[in-house]
Chain A
Amino acid sequence: MSDLYLSRIRNWFLSSPPAEWAINRLRETLIGSLSQGPIPGHVAFEMDGNRRYARSHKIETVEGHHLGFEALARVLEICYKCGVKVVTVYAFSLENFHRPKYEVDGLMQLAKVKLEQLIQHGELLDRYGASVRVLGRLDLIPPDVLEVVERAVAATSHNKTCVLNICFPYTSREEMTTAIRTTVEEYSTTPRPHSTPFSQSRITQKILSKQGDKNESLESIEESPSQPDDNDQDDAVSTATTLHSDPSTQKSEGSENVAIYPNAETITPETIDKHLYTAGCPPLDIFVRTSGVERLSDFMLWQCHQDTHIFFLKCFWPEFDLWHFLPVLVEWQHRQKQKQRDEKPRRVKQA
């Protein structure tokens, strides 16, 4: 009984205007101070624990997701005030489609309503200079929600200061596969020679008709090595020996243009980077997962497996606030400073 009274008194005190004012001053000061140090360029949040929070507080699951959205708004405010350029959040996994239908629908409706509001108050987001991007399999979003998503993305696309990436139906493996697929597509479609009124086939025909027999002999020399080569390639499955274009496509596409493919050997990790959903974002500095689960769960695998600092926090996502994010940020800054300190003597030694 006395506990209840105490917590009531505490709540009353904390919600009183002077206490609120003081806490807000404190927040502003902390955020302002931290932005004096190194600031991560890209932070990813895996918003885990909404349902478990709801269960432990005996509220409905959808209600838990609503509180999770409030936490997201809070975190975004902190990040953007600190000067973080890109925030990526995991809102919905492809695996989440296996959840009960009413929950999936609830999440979709939540997304729809929030994005609709965002469009209504477009100018509010402009103040942060934030643009919204939705990453993932957009084709799996229900059409009514997709329409809102597209409008929201279009309404904020002119903002350049910072980016909010919402991973909507997303898994990292799907992202990597898509990146591989689009890279392959790019490397197997010929960049069309800029359209000229001159037809290449006509020119070749003219040359052929003029030079007649001389050229035929030349051509036979040229083509003869390419045909056995072609057969060899059919047998060898994964050798990376062909550096030149393939003559067989020339035949299939007709004589209109010569298929010169970009060399597949020039594909680098950066090429894949460019085809990921997060193309153009700075490298991921901090990865935060809440609710004490120590797995990546198919989120940002390609982006975070190198030197990203990964933090697994115990709290549930709806509880997440400055007081949880602050230690993460300070520890990251501390490690950055240590890294710099370690690198300095090494550089001196090498010199």
Chain B
Amino acid sequence: METNFSKGDANLGEQPRLRKPPHHQHQPDAPAGGDQLLYAMPFSAKDLQRYRKDERFSHRLMTPEERVNLLKPYLPSPPPRDGARRASLSQVSKEERKGKLGVRRFLRRHFHIFVYALIHFYFSIYIRLRQAYHAIGNRFYTVYHHHHHSPELIQRDIKDLGRLPKHLSVILTLEDQGRSGAGLEKLVNEAADIAAWCASAGIDQLSIYERTGILKGYVKETHQTISHRLQTYFGPSFPSVSLGAPHVPPIQSGLLSLSNSPNNESRKTISILLISAEDGRDSIVDLTKTLAEMSQRKKLQAADITTELVDAELSESIMEEPDLLVLFSPHVELAGYPPWQIRLTEIFHVPDNQGVGYQVFYRAMCRFSKAQMRMGR
């Protein structure tokens, strides 16, 4: 029992000291072929069979005591207070054990630190290789699927897909905290690109999330950039843009060009919403404040607060649930995205991807057309 690795042991660790290995030991990094469920268990196969047989007879086969005995060898050592009590009974054996255990524990700890360092050494090599592999793959995709600023090419890509999201959402990140204008400019350009792809693919609702909400301060400029970008894609009869933010009236575009465009009947509109971290938790907190005040004034019973009410309020004042969320970050982290609205949203990311690219957008569309909804059924 004592030789089992217990938690007290693990908590001793301060910062792991990285040591040069004295000699090369076998590395337990590569997982053994453990896809076979049965034999990957910590249980031995015999015990597992006994357990399952018992389970099949809805646990009437074994008495509770038998079951305890079955489990006992797999449990960690009992908590320290039991050990202390036992040790106090026999002073001599305690000292003996302590000496032995101390050395053993010391050695085990250093062995673990060594293995930890080894795992991370190999893992960092692995992750570099993986990043390189993905970078090459993404590069290939970028070259192969390039939009060439032409809506026709994008439409050709999208044409064969079964279904498209009605409402697409993306997460963009502002670089260097917006201290220099370069980060902001890049952000506006990325937003314009994505808007153009959406317009070409026929998605007419787009929401752009950026944590700090810096774009909300430049709605006019962003709107202008997006309109220009759409013009370079579509030519003179480019779709009109309505750009807004929660609690900010949207700017509708192209009132001037509306008159001189020949077929303004068929002119499509893409509506874009800029959201930020304050539309997430803070909006829910604001709603709670309002509800609390209403309740204090006896205009509302607490029982009136239902999921439907909250949902109606939040989707009206912020936005509705998007169908697809596309991340351009190397891994999935939501960075404060509105929590209420991502309930069933499909989340797409390309592993180890860097930056905004058309290939991510295209792959997200492909992935979305294949995903199926089950709604918990």
Q: Which residues of A contact B (CB under 8 A)?
A: 10-11, 14-15, 17, 20, 23-24, 26-37, 66-67, 70-71, 74, 77, 80-83, 93-96, 98-99, 113, 117, 120-121, 124, 126-129, 161, 172-174, 176-177, 180-181, 183-185, 187-188, 233, 237-238, 240, 242, 245-246, 248-249, 252, 261, 264-265, 267-269, 271-272, 293-298, 301-302, 304-312, 318-319, 321-323, 326, 330-331, 333-335, 337
Q: How far is the CB of A118 from chain B (nearest CB, A)?
A: 11
For A173, list chain B residues within 8 Å (CB). 307, 310-311, 340, 343
Known: A74-B41, A93-B376. A308 touches B119 (CB 8 A): no
CB pairs A–B below 8 angstroms (14 shown): A23-B32, A29-B112, A117-B64, A127-B77, A127-B79, A128-B76, A172-B339, A176-B340, A188-B296, A248-B298, A267-B285, A308-B333, A312-B347, A323-B31
Contact B5 A28 (CB under 8 A): yes
Contact B311 A297 (CB under 8 A): no
Count how many pairs of residues, one from A and one from B, have CB atoms less than 8 Å apart in the complex. 275
Known: A269-B281, A305-B336, A323-B40. A33 touches B115 (CB 8 A): yes
Docked complex Cα distance between A28 and B39 (Å): 15
Q: Is B218 an interface residue (CB 8 A)?
A: no
For B39, list chain A residues within 8 Å (CB). 11, 14-15, 20, 23
Which residue of B is nearest A39, CB measured?
B10
Consensus secondary structure, chain A interface: helix
Contact B36 A11 (CB under 8 A): yes
Stretch at the interface among B151-159, B189-197, B286-294, B353-361: B286-294
Contact B342 A305 (CB under 8 A): yes
Contact B306 A322 (CB under 8 A): no
Contact B5 A172 (CB under 8 A): no
Contact A184 B295 (CB under 8 A): yes
Docked complex Cα distance between A322 and B35 (Å): 10
Known: A121-B64, A330-B119. A83 touches B10 (CB 8 A): yes
Known: A20-B45, A305-B337, A305-B339. A323 touches B34 (CB 8 A): yes
Which of B10, B55, B67, B119 has a CB less than 8 Å from the CB of A82? B10
Stretch at the interface among B120-128, B132-140, B223-231, B235-243: B120-128
For B162, list chain A residues within 8 Å (CB). none
Which residue of B is nearest A63, CB measured?
B56
For A307, list chain B residues within 8 Å (CB). 333, 335
Docked complex Cα distance between A172 and B284 (Å): 14
Contact B347 A296 (CB under 8 A): yes
For A28, list chain B residues within 8 Å (CB). 4-5
Docked complex Cα distance between A269 and B55 (Å): 45
Q: Identify 4 new A-B residue pairs, CB closer than 8 A, beyond the known A77-B42, A99-B377, A330-B123.
A: A15-B45, A81-B76, A188-B292, A249-B298
Annotate B9-23 by CB proximity to A: 1 below 8 A, 0 otherwise: 111010010000000
Q: How far is the CB of B204 from chain A (nearest CB, A)?
A: 23
Q: Which residues of B contact A (CB under 8 A)?
A: 4-5, 7, 9-11, 13, 16, 28, 31-32, 34-42, 44-46, 55, 58-59, 64, 67-68, 71, 74-79, 108-109, 111-116, 119-120, 123-124, 127, 280-282, 284-298, 300, 302-303, 305-307, 310-311, 331-340, 342-348, 367, 371, 375-377
For A245, list chain B residues within 8 Å (CB). 296
Contact B59 A80 (CB under 8 A): no
For B302, list chain A residues within 8 Å (CB). 181, 184-185, 188
Q: How far is the CB of A28 from chain B (nearest CB, A)?
A: 5
For B35, list chain A residues within 8 Å (CB). 319, 323
Contact B340 A295 (CB under 8 A): no
Which 8 pairs show the lowest CB-CB distances between chains A and B? A95-B376, A15-B45, A33-B115, A35-B10, A188-B295, A310-B332, A264-B292, A187-B292
Q: How far is the CB of A25 from chain B (nearest CB, A)?
A: 9
Contact A294 B347 (CB under 8 A): yes
For B124, list chain A residues within 8 Å (CB). 334
Contact B340 A298 (CB under 8 A): no
Q: How far is the CB of A17 from chain B (nearest CB, A)?
A: 7
Which of A80, A294, A319 has a CB less than 8 Å from the CB of B7? A80
Which of B16, B295, B347 has a CB less than 8 Å from the CB of A187? B295
Docked complex Cα distance between A264 and B294 (Å): 10
For B282, list chain A residues within 8 Å (CB). 269
For B13, list chain A residues within 8 Å (CB). 35-36
Known: A29-B115, A77-B42. A183 touches B292 (CB 8 A): yes
For A302, list chain B residues within 8 Å (CB). 281, 284, 339
Which residue of A is nearest B306, CB measured?
A177
Docked complex Cα distance between A268 and B285 (Å): 6
For B335, list chain A residues within 8 Å (CB). 306-307
For A301, list chain B residues within 8 Å (CB). 339-340, 342-343
For B67, list chain A residues within 8 Å (CB). 117, 120-121
Contact A246 B297 (CB under 8 A): yes
